[in-house]
Amino acid sequence: MSSKPTIILVHGFWGGAAHWSRVILELSRLGHAGLHAVELPLTSLADDAERLRKMIAQQPGPVLLAGHSYGGAVITEAGNQPNVTGLVYIAAFAPDAGESAGGLTQQRPPAAAPHLAPDSDGYLWLRADKFHESFCQDLSADDALVMAVTQKAPLASAFRTTVTRPAWRDKPSWYQISSQDRMITPENQTWMSGRLNARKVITLDASHASLASRAPEVAALIDEATRA
């Protein structure tokens, strides 16, 4: 049996598990066979954390969690399971107890905030005509179009749910900052990564979609975390 932990990749708002596709290929090339990408319902933090807990429980050995964007809040809430060995935050929220992704966003509103559009059913969309410039300006227009059309909108109420017991207070963590992020301000990322007491923090000249535009570097950080 491999000594490497299973890696579970956790997506954020406005996308699904497929947002990790390029990182998955890079991790496979680095020799990781135990790879999973959870598909979150994006209906509430409680629902999303429970979905992740169930996937963690299905793994027979140690697990490393990597979360992008809102996925950082999910791994923070669900990462206290005993077989979780660490947390990797990729341009992600890392809330403390009593904090929510929405509350952290309001502290330092990002450039793309005006491009969020709620619908009549309570789902919060990123305007398709603003998706490229807001979410993934360092990807091609074709890639951005696919992301915009296939985006998975969350219930807006999920933004407001607070974390109960943050896993990063008990588990080792790693953090990747995107210096050109328009969805979570780089200043917010720097502040959150600083209080994690992270084992390593890297900064990439990247958009919010660093998991797609800078997949080799993101995969390398996750790989390093599996060997810590």
Is residue 23's pLDDT more than 70? Answer: yes
Who's near 133: CB < 8 A, 6+ residues apart?
A: 112, 182
* First vs last C-alpha separation in the chain: 18
Mean pLDDT of 183-197: 97
The Cα 175–Cα 196 span in angstroms is: 9
Burial (CB < 10 A; 0-12, 13-18, 19+), residue 194, is exposed
Give per-residue pLDDT as tens, 137-152.
Answer: 999 999 999 999 999 9
Q: Longest C-alpha distance within the chain, in Å?
A: 50
Are the C-beta atoms of residues 179 and 197 closer than 8 Å to each other? no
Structure tokens belonging to residue 171: 């588990």
Mean pLDDT of 72-76: 98
* DSSP category for residue 196: T
Per-residue pLDDT, 1: 42
Q: pLDDT band for 3, please (50, 70, 90 cuts).
A: confident
Give per-residue pLDDT as tens, 91-119.
Answer: 999 999 999 999 999 999 999 999 999 99
The alpha carbon torsion through 109, 134, 123, 156 (nearest 10 deg) reads -20
**Which pairs from 116-122 meet CB under 8 Å and 24+ separation?**
118/156, 119/153, 122/155, 122/156, 122/157
Per-residue pLDDT, 104: 96
Structure tokens belonging to residue 120: 């009549």
Is residue 4's pLDDT more than 70? Answer: yes
Mean per-residue pLDDT over the chain, rounded: 97
Is residue 62's pLDDT more than 60? Answer: yes
Per-residue pLDDT, 2: 56
Q: Alpha helices of 58-185 — where are they, by DSSP H?
A: 71-78, 101-107, 131-135, 141-149
**Share of residues in the chain with pLDDT > 70 (%):** 99
Mean pLDDT of 80-96: 98
